[in-house]
Chains A and B, each alone.
Chain A
Amino acid sequence: MRRGCGHYRNGHCDHQDKNNYMALSDFPEGSKCEVIHLHGCTMNNRLANLGIGVGSVLTIVQNAGNRGPLIIMLESTRYAIGRGMARLIECKKVESCEQEND
Chain B
Amino acid sequence: MNKKTINIALAGNPNSGKTTLFNEITGTTQTTGNWPGVTVTKKTGKCSYEDTRINVTDLPGTYSLSAHSEDELIARDFVVKEKPDVVINVVDATALSRNLFLTIQLIELGAPVVVALNMTDEAKKSQLDVNPEMLSQILGVPVVETVGTCGSGVKTLIQKAVELAEDKEKSCFVCHYGADVESATQRIQNVLSETQVAKTHYPLHFFAHKLLERDKRIEEEIETIDHPEKVHQIVEEEMDKLREKYGDDVETLVINRRYEMARNIAYKVTSKIRKPNRVTEILDRILTNRFLGIPIFLAIMYGIYFVTFTYGAYLSDLVGLGVEWISGLFDSLASFGIPAITNTGAFLNGVVTEGVGGVIVFLPFIAVLFIFMSFLEGSGYMARIAYIMDGIMSSVGLSGKAFIPYMVSFGCAVPGVMAARTLDTNRERVLTVLTTPLVACATRMEVLFFLAAVAFVSNPLMQSLSVWIVFALGIVLAIVLVSLFSRIFYKNEKATPILIELPPYRLPSVKNILLHSWNRTKHFLEKAGGVILFGAIAFWILSSTPSNILSLGSNAVISTIVISSLLLWLILSNALPSIRKRIKAPIIKASNIISLLTIVAVYIIGIMPVLPTDVALDESIIGTVSRGGQWLVTPLGLDWRALVALVAGFVAKELVISVFNILGTGVGEMDSSSTIREWYSPQAVLGLMIFMNLYVPCLATIGAIKAEIGWKWALFSVGYSLALAWIVSFIVYRVGLLF
Contacts and interface: CB of A to CB of B under 8 A. Distances in A.
Contacts of B435: none
Contacts of A53: 252, 255-256, 259
A76 B274 contact: yes
Contacts of B496: 82
Interface string B271-282: 010101100100
Contact of A51 (B98, B232, B400): B98
A68 B399 CA distance: 11
A49 B249 contact: no
User: Which residue, of B126, B214, B288, has the highest number of chain A Cβ atoms within 10 A?
Assistant: B288
Contacts of B284: 61-62, 71, 78
B255 A50 contact: no
B259 A51 contact: yes
Contacts of A48: 252, 255-256, 259
A64 to B, nearest CB: 4
B597 to A, nearest CB: 56
Interface in B59-97: 63-64, 66, 68, 94-95, 97
Interface string A58-99: 000110100111010011111111111100000000000000
Contacts of B255: 45, 48-49, 53
Contacts of A44: 251-252
B280 A1 contact: no
A63 to B, nearest CB: 10
Interface string A1-32: 11101110000000000000000000000000
Nearest to A78: B502
Nearest to B258: A48
B660 interface: no
User: Which residue, of A45, A47, A48, A101, has the highest number of chain B Cβ atoms within 10 A?
Assistant: A48
Interface in B252-290: 252, 255-256, 259, 262-263, 267, 272, 274, 276-277, 280, 284, 288, 290
Contacts of A43: 497, 499
Q: How large is the interface on A (under 10, 10 to 19, 20 to 34, 35 or more residues)?
A: 35 or more
B267 A81 contact: no
Contacts of A41: 251
Contact of B502 (A38, A47, A71, A84): A71
B424 interface: yes
B386 interface: yes
Given A3-B243, A69-B497, A101-B272, A80 B252 contact: no
A51 B95 CA distance: 10
24 contacts: A1-B236, A38-B252, A41-B251, A43-B497, A48-B252, A49-B101, A50-B501, A51-B97, A51-B262, A51-B263, A55-B256, A67-B391, A69-B497, A69-B498, A71-B387, A76-B274, A78-B501, A79-B500, A80-B383, A80-B386, A81-B498, A85-B497, A85-B499, A101-B267
Interface of A: 1-3, 5-7, 37-38, 41, 43-51, 53-55, 61-62, 64, 67-69, 71, 74-85, 101
Interface of B: 63-64, 66, 68, 94-95, 97-98, 101, 126, 213-214, 232, 236, 243, 248-249, 251-252, 255-256, 259, 262-263, 267, 272, 274, 276-277, 280, 284, 288, 290, 383, 386-387, 390-391, 394, 399-400, 424, 496-504
Q: Which 9 pairs of residues, A with B, have the shortest CB-CB distance?
A: A82-B497, A49-B63, A78-B502, A80-B387, A85-B497, A48-B255, A84-B497, A82-B498, A64-B290
